[in-house]
Amino acid sequence: MAQTPILRRTSDDSQIAQTTASQSAKRMLVDAQGRVVFMGNEIQNLLGLKSVGADTDLMDVVEFTDRDSVISDRGQALFGGGNTDFVSMFTSGSHEITLTNGKTVTLDFDIIQTQNAEFIVGVMNDAEERSSNVPSEDIQGWISQTLPVNEDVNDTEDEHEDLGEFTQRDISNFMEMSEEIMIKCSKNGSLRNFNKKCLSTLGFEESDLVAMEFMDIIAPEDKSTVRPIVMQIINGEAEKHQIVHFEARMLCENGERRWIHWQQRKFGHALYFVGQDLTQIKYQQLKLKRQQEQLSKAQSIGRMGHWTWALGREEIEWSDELYRIFGVDQDNFLPTIDSIGKLVVRRDLGRTMQIFQRAMMSKCNFETDFRIKTENGKEKHLRCEGRCQTDEDGDVTAIFGIMRDITEQFEHETELHRAKEAAENAYAAKSQFLANMSHELRTPLNAIIGFSEMIQRQLLGPIGTEQYLDYINGIRESGEHLLDLITDILDMSKIESGKYELDLEKFEFNKPLDVAIHMMEGRALDQNIKINLNLSESLKERKIVADRRAIMQIMLNLLSNAVKFSGENGIIEVCCEERDNGIFIKVADNGIGIPPNKLQTILKPFEQVSNQYSRGHEGSGLGLAITKELVELHGGHLHLESELNVGTTVHIRLPFEVIQRPKDQTRH
């Protein structure tokens, strides 16, 4: 069998002149970086090497029985010889080598200094002479003859590049560049060599690692799973050349864990590990998983699921929650247009399909509600919202969206709608009843008031007993009070049911104002209350378009409240001025005022301040509410200001010409 020489030399190279071929066959020459420059045929045979590639590392082809005594710790920690001053870590002398058949052989190693460099010369123990016994000029001559003709490194590398081979230097460079962790272990798992990436990933110093075993850098929680895998390789149980893959966490120097995908293989007496750092990917996967779980939980809380239908595909992708909403089993139900269609209530199917088709054609978003049948025969209401996904040409490639179970919301809304309708009907019935009743009461009341007035005036003859005159006066006043109340109720009912119609006419604003003040003056005088009117010049004889009776009612209500809630000697200011194409009216008193907590509600019907201040004042609680409504019916605005024990001011703004709201905007 042909012996493949290392480098470009063979043991029978004619250049080895002084040394016999048989001597050379028993020698090997190793350079300062630990690369075998030459290996004699006999040594190659002994080591069972068929070929030794160029730049082969001594430590790769020779298995020293006691490796630790051959090279120092630092030397053991580093791969190859390319970057290291191997010779300085090498111990010369006789070293036993374990052969592949288990036998041992001893070789003598000497370090020889030549003019340019140091070399290690290895000689088989049975050689006639040890290199150290050979005169140094002879061995140096052998070295110079054995060295390649042109030892220029670049030339050598170029030639290898030409041949398309990787040199040991190339491999070292690759290893240093690699993003993969590379570890070489002895056959029993002790860390021998490792690359830069290994150090940077783990954070250990070289010196720490050489004292460790592979299992030491595996995180405790993964040791039990990793040990059998590694042992399988160590014990040779794995198939020859089989690369075993596994994932495990590495324990870094700072206690951190890093997820590594390992590839492990045994070559000769060494175990090789190549690891890919998956920590970032694992972290992302974990994050994604957590987010998916959260999304799923959120969807479950919101009773909502998402779906995607890629056009051309039969299956529609559903999130877990959709299976729950539709009440189908994830393992036994394949969501397709047909299968989903079978669950949709028949009457909703056609319309829903149409909406989907239209969305696809017009590429627009859509939202629709439909019902599905559930196992217990009840219907569920679903809301489906969808979006179109388009490619760069604008063609729809998929539609996707969400579906939400809105059954509860639907039932709630229906209930609310029903309750609102019922309340509105009841309110309308009440208003109708009040309107009817007030109307019916007015007729007899008018009779009571009319006849009592006649008796009071004794139109048909004198009353015998004086006392009766007092009684009849009481009957008349009570009747008038009742009539006021009923008129108020009737007005309020009409306003609330939208049936109050303004009787519009053109008149001078100051006329009803004067009448109202005049009518209240009598009552005011009883309590020595003064009413001051301040009417701006421009408003005198200013004509407005409004409901005269309503304007009168507004002024009477405000003035009667001002008189009612002012104490003895009170002063009431009525100011009217023109502003913004309308009239600003201010009615201010210095009476008992309204507590702040009542100001918000006092404008609502039947609201009264019931306390020691207002106690004893008669009234229905409708005056202010009616006043506000009448002002607003005229397109105006009412605002109330009050301070307890200081007084109350009512501000009103009325347009010169009433702006009537269309009928349907009035209150229902």
Q: Which residues bind ligand ADP (CB under 6 A)?
A: 557, 561-562, 565, 589, 591-594, 602, 607-609, 614, 619-625, 648
Asked whether 565 and 592 are in contact (CB, 8 A), the reply is: yes
One-letter amino acid at 280 equals: Q
70 versus 587: smaller Cβ distance to ligand ADP: 587
277 versus 641: smaller Cβ distance to ligand ADP: 641
Closest CA to 635 of 611, 610, 666, 606: 666
Compute the least distance from the CB of residue 550 to ligand ADP, in Å: 15
Compute the least distance from the CB of residue 465 to ligand ADP, in Å: 35
Exposed/middle/buried for residue 360 (C-beta within 10 Å: 0-12, 13-18, 19+): middle
DSSP annotation of 42? H
Compute the least distance from the CB of residue 565 to ligand ADP, in Å: 3
Compute the least distance from the CB of residue 605 to ligand ADP, in Å: 8
Report the residue number whose CB is nearest to ligand ADP. 619
Compute the least distance from the CB of residue 621 to ligand ADP, in Å: 4
Compute the least distance from the CB of residue 445 to ligand ADP, in Å: 18
Compute the least distance from the CB of residue 479 to ligand ADP, in Å: 17
Compute the least distance from the CB of residue 560 to ligand ADP, in Å: 7
Pairing type for strands 379-390 and 530-535 reads unpaired
Positive/negative CA dihedral, 485, 486, 490, 493:
positive
Residue with token string 């905007």: 665
Compute the least distance from the CB of residue 651 to ligand ADP, in Å: 13
30 versus 624: smaller Cβ distance to ligand ADP: 624
Compute the least distance from the CB of residue 620 to ligand ADP, in Å: 5
- Here the tokens at position 188 are 């029993």
CA distance 333 to 316: 11
Compute the least distance from the CB of residue 538 to ligand ADP, in Å: 27
Angle at 559 between CA 557 and CA 565, to 5 degrees: 100
CA distance 227 to 100: 26
156 versus 590: smaller Cβ distance to ligand ADP: 590
- Here the tokens at position 637 are 């605005």
198 versus 609: smaller Cβ distance to ligand ADP: 609
Compute the least distance from the CB of residue 486 to ligand ADP, in Å: 13
Residue with token string 């720490």: 208
Q: How many CB atoms lie within 10 A of CB 160?
A: 18
CA distance 272 to 262: 10
| Length of the chain, in residues | 668
CA distance 98 to 356: 78
53 versus 623: smaller Cβ distance to ligand ADP: 623
Asked whether 516 and 465 are in contact (CB, 8 A), the reply is: no
Q: How many CB atoms lie within 10 A of CB 98?
A: 16
Closest CA to 35 of 13, 52, 21, 10: 52
Strand order in the sheet with 317-318: 317-318, 304-310, 396-405, 379-390, 366-373
Positive/negative CA dihedral, 584, 590, 596, 599:
negative
108 versus 589: smaller Cβ distance to ligand ADP: 589
Q: Is 385 helix (H, G, I), strand (E, B) or coil?
A: strand
Helical H runs in 267-364?
279-301, 320-326, 337-341, 346-362
Compute the least distance from the CB of residue 530 to ligand ADP, in Å: 15
108 versus 491: smaller Cβ distance to ligand ADP: 491
512 versus 591: smaller Cβ distance to ligand ADP: 591
Asked whether 264 and 246 are in contact (CB, 8 A), the reply is: yes
386 versus 570: smaller Cβ distance to ligand ADP: 570
Compute CA 36 distance to the chain's CA centroid, rounded to the nearest angstrom. Answer: 62
CA distance 489 to 441: 11
